[in-house]
Amino acid sequence: MFYPAYRGRRIRGNEVFRRMVRETALSVNDLIYPMFAAFGSGIRKEISAMPGIYQLSVENIVAEAREAHELGIPAVILFGIPEYKDATGSSACLEHGVVQEAVRALKKELPGLAVITDVCMCEYTDHGHCGVIRDGDVDNDATLELLSKEALSHVRAGADMVAPSDMMDGRIGAIREALDFNGFSHVPIMSYAVKYASGYYGPFREAAESAPQFGDRRSYQMDPANRLEAIREAAMDVAEGADILMVKPGLPYLDIVREVRNEFNLPVAVYNVSGEYSMVKAAARNGWIDEERVVMETMIAFKRAGADLILTYHAKDVARLLAKR
């Protein structure tokens, strides 16, 4: 098919035909809204690097989640800013911890909203790493027990799904075993299966107050240069019982989203991370880009690459834009 027999503009020139042949569709049902639950009351603290995103105490988490739910967003994912931090992240597993209380409040007030919880230790440890430190690095197997306890505490509080983000080897199997043994075999796991050691996480570390106090996370998060390793990591999580596979970050790794989509028949999620969000917001505030167009183009890119679900701080804006169409 070549010019002049084929003229692409015949279709592109008619808006109705453009819609009719559109190959990729975005729905509000694709969206998951990340939220930061803070210990205390009366807290609504905007994150300086992420305009429009806040640390919220439980009553404000409910109000924010209600707004998102009324826009049609079907699910939120919770991160916690606890009352205290220590070397082993013990506050992650408390029956009345900040995430656990937020889950209970959300399920009571908004029973139709799916509540997912991030399972990791970095928000709860005083050193900011994702597990127990031994000899200057995270002890993988000792951390598995803590992650399992954390996940179990979230589910007991009413979480509909858990999402381990720590990148410890074997954590999906350990959490699956703990959930099954305690009568929660019906609760799914969304695995951060492919999580790169990325510079795009910077604003999140302000939001979750989880920056490492020494070193970095390269011993457990993936090398950005690696593609085949992503498939190995995802395959291991599939074998251990993951129900959804996530790629994080999103935009710099669209090729990896496609690789995972082609290789596995599980649902695929992508995390449109804090740095991606902050760059759009900063450029828009300077008048350098059309924020609405760039955000929607980004969402379509995730879908076109093969993502079924999108975790994004833009979720409310996207929902509003979709409602106008």
Catalytic (active-site) positions = 195, 248
Token code pair at residue 138? 């995270």
Which residue has 């569709």 as its token pair?
Answer: 25
Backbone angles phi, psi at 140, to 5 degrees: -55, -55
* Locus of tokens 């074998």: 239
- Taking alpha carbons only, the member of 33, 103, 26 closest to residue 75 is 33
Distance in angstroms (rounded) separating the CA atoms of residues 223 and 218? 7
- Give Cβ neighbours of residue 1 (< 8 Å, ≥ 6 apart): none
Distances in whole angstroms, Cα of residue 139 to Cα of each of 39, 86, 92, 135, 226:
28, 16, 17, 9, 23
CA atoms of 171 and 260, how far apart (whole Å):
19
**Strand pairing partners for 117?**
78, 162
